Amino acid sequence: ETGVTQSPTHLIKTRGQQVTLRCSSQSGHNTVSWYQQALGQGPQFIFQYYREEENGRGNFPPRFSGLQFPNYSSELNVNALELDDSALYLCASSNGPFYEQYFGPGTRLTVT
């Protein structure tokens, strides 16, 4: 059974640029949730995708957007990057919305 994987592991971008992060869910899981973990903070919920539809969103601006594909993998897109977007981005998959979530290792984004 393959766990949750994320790519890339690390990423450095410049303020104003756009970035796409990718997540492959665990086998059999149809739901993907994205979290932002700033340095020294706990993860904060960005949004969740269930069967290719957005199923809940946290307090993040519209420049944070996402997709879920028919194979249940997912992308997180961030436009117009700001310095405060520097964080570890975690993806979690589950077998249903907000059921027990299994986390990937994260993508560390640095915005300069």
Partner 1 sequence: AQSVTQLDSQVPVFEEAPVELRCNYSSSVSVYLFWYVQYPNQGLQLLLKYLSGSTLVESINGFEAEFNKSQTSFHLRKPSVHISDTAEYFCAVSADNSGNTPLVFGKGTRLSVIA
Of the residues 24, 25, 26, 48, which one makes contact with partner 1 according to CB under 8 A: 48
Output the six-digit token pair for 62. 């519209």
Is residue 20 within 8 Å of residue 107, measured between CB atoms? no
Residues 19-51: b if buried by 16+ CB within 10 A, e if exposed: bebbbbbbeebbbbbbbbeeeeeebebbbbbbe
Of the residues 21, 78, 93, 106, which one makes contact with partner 1 according to CB under 8 A: 106
Whether the ω angle into residue 8 lies within 30 degrees of 0, i.e. cis, is yes
How many residues sit in the footprint of partner 1 (CB under 8 A)? 24
Of the residues 13, 20, 58, 75, which one makes contact with partner 1 according to CB under 8 A: 58
40 touches partner 1 (CB under 8 A):
yes
Nearer to partner 1, 38 or 80 (CB): 38
Q: Which listed range, 14-22, 34-42, 68-76, 78-86, lies at the site for partner 1 (CB under 8 A)?
A: 34-42
